[in-house]
Amino acid sequence: MKRIEKVTDMAAVSGRLASEGKSIGFVPTMGYLHEGHLSLAREAGKENDVVIMSIFVNPAQFGPGEDFDSYPRDLERDAELAEKAGVDILFHPTPEEMYPENSEIRILPGRQADVLCGASRPGHFDGVLKVLTKLFHLTMPERAYFGQKDAQQLAIIETFVRDYNFPLEIRRVPTVREEDGLAKSSRNVRLTPEEREQAPAIYESLQQGARMFRESGDPDLALGTLRKSLGHIPGAETDYAEILEYPSLRPLSASSREAIIAAAVQFSGARLIDNILVNLEGKRS
C-alpha cells in the first residue's frame, strides 16, 4: 500500500491512474477505522481497479466546542487495517496541507442541512462539502463509497454530486453494526462501560418506531413511540428524533417513496447517530 501526504503527489498519482484507464474507488474517512470503514474499502475493491482511502480529520466540519481536538486518531493502526482491507493508496494530509490558505469561499448545502444533525450543527455540512470537493478533485474517482449510518450526509452528497455534475457515482453501503445492534462508530470508544451497555437501545428504539410505522402507517404515532423509547435510556439525552422523506429530507407526503427514521443521542462523552430507512412504495395512499 502506497501512502501519500502531499496534495500535489495525490493529484499526480490519480492523473497517472486515469491516463492508464484504471478505475478508482474512493473511501473518504476521518480515521480511527472500524469495520464500517473497512466494509466500504472491500466494496470499493470489488468494483474498481484501485482503491484510495483518505484519512483526514476535517477541521472545517467541526464547530466551536465540538470534539475536533479529542477526536480519536491512530494513523499507524489505521494504515495497517486499511492495507489488510485491500486499500491500495492511503492519502493522509495535514490540515495545513489541505487548507494552506484561509479561503472565504463557501459551499452551502441548502435546505437538506437545516434538519436532523444540521439543525444543531450550523456550518457542519458546509465543511463536509468543502473537503469532499477537494478530495474528489484530488483522487478523481469513478465511484465514492459512503455508509448509510450517516444518512443525512449521504443524502446531501448525492444531491451535491448530481446538481453539480461531478463525474462520479456515489455508492451507498449498509450500516455495519456490533452484535448487539449498536452502529459502528469511531466515537463509540468514548462511551463509558455503562453507556456502552445502554447505547444499543438507540437502534432498538428506532426498530420500535419503524415497526409501528409499518403497522400503522402513521408517522406521528411512530415518532411518539420512538421518542418515548429513547427517553428511557439512562444517562442519555435525545438531541433529535425525526421521521422524514428520504433522500429529500422534506416532511412526508402521500407521494413519498422512502422514509428515514433518525435519531441522535448525547451521552457524557459521545454523541451517537443512527437511522433506519423504510420503503413506502405501495404502503401509502
Residues 180/200, Cβ–Cβ less than 8 Å: yes
37 is in an annotated binding site: yes
In 3D space, the residue among 118, 1, 13, 99 whose CA is nearest the CA of residue 56 turns out to be: 99
124 is catalytic: no
Q: Which of 242, 227, 222, 224 has the alpha carbon at shortest distance from 284?
A: 222
Q: According to the annotation, is 45 in a ligand binding site?
A: no
User: Radius of gyration over alpha carbons of the chain, in Å?
Assistant: 19
Residue 197 labelled as part of a binding site? no
Q: Tell me if 218 is assigned to a ligand binding site.
A: no
Cell numbers 406521528 correspond to 220
**Number of neighbours of residue 140 by Cβ within 10 angstroms:** 18
148 is in an annotated binding site: yes
Distance from C-alpha of 207 to C-alpha of 147, rounded to nearest angstrom = 19
Residue 276 gets which letter from DSSP?
E
Q: Annotation-wise, does 86 bind a ligand? A: no
> What span, in angstroms and rounded, lies between the C-alpha atoms of 193 and 5?
36
* CB-CB contact of 66 with 124 (8 Å): no
Q: Would the annotation count 147 as a binding residue?
A: yes
Residue 10 among known ligand-binding residues: no
Q: Does the annotation list 34 as a binding residue?
A: yes
Say how far apart CA 61 and CA 273 lie, in whole Å: 16
The answer to the question of whether 134 is labelled as a binding residue is no
Residue 144 φ/ψ, nearest 5 degrees: -125, 145
Q: How many residues does the chain have?
A: 285
**130 known ligand binder:** no
Tell me: is residue 75 an annotated ligand-binding position.
no
Q: Was 137 annotated as part of a binding site?
A: no
Q: Residues 37, 92, 124, 137: which is the catalytic one?
A: 37
The reply to whether 1 sits in an annotated binding site is no
Q: In terms of DSSP bridges, do strands 237-245 and 258-266 run parallel, antiparallel, or are they unpaired?
A: antiparallel
237 with 266: CB under 8 angstroms? yes
Task: Please tell me whether 150 is known to bind a ligand.
Answer: yes
Report the catalytic residues: 37
Residue ranges at the known binding site for beta-alanine: 61
Residue ranges at the known binding site for (R)-pantoate: 61, 153
Residue ranges at the known binding site for ATP: 30-37, 147-150, 176, 184-187
Residue ranges at the known binding site: 30-37, 61, 147-150, 153, 176, 184-187
